[in-house]
């Protein structure tokens, strides 16, 4: 594939299904390992008309299916940071779940114009991260990991065609997450909120509170009911939490057009 040039090389990183030029702020959302931008397809209608939602699209999935998977967190963060600088004017905030939280944190560290808020969900902070080997397991071992984390994705992986479609990108993203080595640096001058599920088998409150070490601008922790994928069942509670953190009215535009 010929690499796109000019603005197109930036646009491939960010999907916006419901542009809101008059929005007060833009919320940039980062998928979990194996996830894609479409995972946030229902969010724009729930944040309108006050916030425009942009979903990050990693290489190797959906409209970027013909691109190789990213080699590491640095590649993802560099690409998104450059896209934000080129395409996103005005106020913005970052939300990332699981692997997406790590990428969002690295984007905040790189950004020439810092976000107003960083929300990290379902992910250990850099001081707690350790090397992992899940990406080296066979397919059944990878599915066992997803089953332990909960959510609905694991149930879909009983279908052989779905396994063949999803597991390569899950494995690639686990490799990215498990080989990530955070570099030391000054704390962010950006408020950070960590959100976790109370039954997440990988992230507990004690360890999640160490996200406070990544910022000099204020930290808080929110715990919602659920497992690692708590945000599926707790979507409305999470979006209400995000509206509060972004200083937006907690009102959903009920007649706002739905998104695909």
* Residues 225, 130, 56, 87, CA torsion sign: positive
Alpha carbon distances (Å) from 243 to 21, 28, 53? 18, 13, 12
The pair phi, psi for residue 96, each rounded to 5°, is -135, 140
For residue 173 the two structure tokens come to 């993203």
Catalytic residue among 98, 121, 133, 258: 98
CA-to-CA dists, residue 86 to 112, 116, 131, 198, 259, angstroms: 11, 17, 33, 38, 25
**98 catalytic residue (yes or no):** yes
* Beta strands per DSSP E along 158-210: 192-197
Distances from the Cα of 70 to the Cα of 79, 165, 174, 175, angstroms: 10, 17, 11, 10
| Residues that are catalytic | 98
């Amino acid at each position: 594939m010929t690499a796109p040039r000019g603005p197109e090389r930036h646009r491939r990183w960010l999907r916006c299904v419901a542009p809101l030029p008059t929005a007060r702020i833009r919320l940039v959302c980062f998928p979990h390992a194996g996830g894609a931008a479409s995972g946030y397809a229902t969010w724009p209608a729930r944040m309108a008309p006050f916030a425009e939602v942009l979903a990050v699209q990693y290489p190797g999935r959906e409209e970027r299916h013909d691109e190789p998977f990213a080699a590491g967190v640095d590649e993802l963060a560099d690409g998104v940071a450059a896209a934000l600088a080129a395409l996103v004017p005005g106020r913005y905030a970052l939300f990332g779940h699981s692997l997406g939280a790590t990428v969002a944190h690295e984007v905040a560290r790189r950004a020439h114009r810092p976000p107003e808020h960083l929300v990290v969900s379902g992910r250990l902070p850099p001081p707690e991260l350790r090397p992992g080997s899940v990406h080296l397991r066979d397919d059944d071992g990878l599915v066992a990991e997803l089953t332990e984390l909960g959510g609905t994705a694991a149930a879909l992986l009983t279908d052989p065609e779905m396994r063949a479609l999803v597991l390569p990108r899950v494995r690639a993203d686990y490799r990215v997450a498990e080989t990530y080595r955070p570099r030391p640096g000054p704390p962010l001058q950006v408020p950070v909120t960590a959100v976790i599920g109370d039954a997440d088998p990988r992230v507990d409150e004690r360890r999640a509170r160490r996200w406070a070490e990544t910022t000099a601008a204020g930290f808080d922790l929110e715990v919602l009911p659920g497992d690692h994928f708590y945000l599926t069942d707790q979507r409305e509670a999470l979006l209400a939490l995000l509206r509060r953190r972004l200083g937006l009215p907690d009102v959903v535009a009920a007649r706002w057009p739905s998104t695909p």
